[in-house]
Structure 1
Amino acid sequence: MISPEKFRKKPVEIEAVHLTNGVAPDEVASWCGGRVAAHPEQNYTGGAIVIEIDTLEGTMRAEPGDWIIKGVAGEFYPCKPDIFEATYEGAGSTDVSSDAVRCCGRPQNGICVHDVIQPSPGR
């Protein structure tokens, strides 16, 4: 029988962008080397578009409410809000608590984020 060892993440600072109100999808895609795309599920109500990011594991999709993280080696990947909240804390004035990070119809500071990311004109 194996005996797994315990490990703790090293305290490192990362950069991240939260896909919520006021975030321009084109700017986020440019920042992370991704591309803006229509959500692949026709009846998805969480938001009209996603950002596709090419990673070593293949193309990953960041949906409205997700965080996009720039890792310690400069790599980018999406992260679901609950995982982000459990793993990271703000290094400055950023609040990543459950009261500030909500998606899929639950209020975020009083704002529904079903329509957090809308296509840019002409898309």
Structure 2
Amino acid sequence: MPRYRTRPIEIEAARFDGELVGEWDKKSKKVTPGTCPEWFPANLQCFAATHMARAVAADNGGTVTRCNDRLYIGSAALGAMEAAPGDWITCDSQGVLGICKPDVFGRKYELVK
């Protein structure tokens, strides 16, 4: 039986800390404010009364919803996903957002230099 391996692909990724999406500061274990990537819906704002926020990702028609310290991403390609603090938010070459747990991300991806 033949064996196969995944083709190398490049993605963009940022961490979610329960509040922000962006570059991870290892020392504080929080996202550095102002580092939200361009591909992530910047108009995601929290509604103070319900602690919920919702935005539509223009590129792929998916939705991003934040409720308390969780982030919910829905897309036609991947379905509904839930991100917890510390998870990676990914964006593939077609603009589809996804979620990857830190241990899986560390095994699957390496920094492109």
In the superposition, the TM-score normalised over structure 2's length comes to 0.57
**Where in structure 1 are there 5+ consecutive unaligned residues?**
39-48, 93-123
SS in 1 for 2:31: coil
Give how far 1:12 is off.
1.6
Residue of structure 1 equivalent to 2:67: 37
Give how far 1:84 is off.
0.6
**Higher RCO (CA-CA < 8 Å; seq separation 6+):** 1
Does the Cα contact within 8 Å between 2:15 and 2:31 map onto a contact in 1?
no
CA distance in 2, matches of 1:73, 1:7: 23
Give how far 1:59 is off.
1.8
Residue of structure 2 equivalent to 1:75: 96
The one of 15, 20, 26 equivalent to 1:18 is 15
Residue of structure 1 equivalent to 2:22: none
Deviations 1:9-67 (A, max 9, x none): 2122110011240255xx576258312112xxxxxxxxxx1111112342211111110
CA distance in 1, matches of 2:66, 2:7: 32
In the superposition, the TM-score normalised over structure 1's length comes to 0.53
Identity among equivalent positions (%) equals 30
**Large movers: runs of 4+ above 4 Å:** none
SS in 2 for 1:84: helix
Greater share of helix: 1
**Where in structure 2 are there 5+ consecutive unaligned residues?**
18-29, 43-55, 58-63
Pairs within 5 Å for 1:81-120: 81-92=102-113
Q: CA RMSD in A?
A: 2.3
Q: Relative to structure 2, which stretch is displaced further, 82-91 or 50-59? A: 50-59
How many residues align structurally? 77
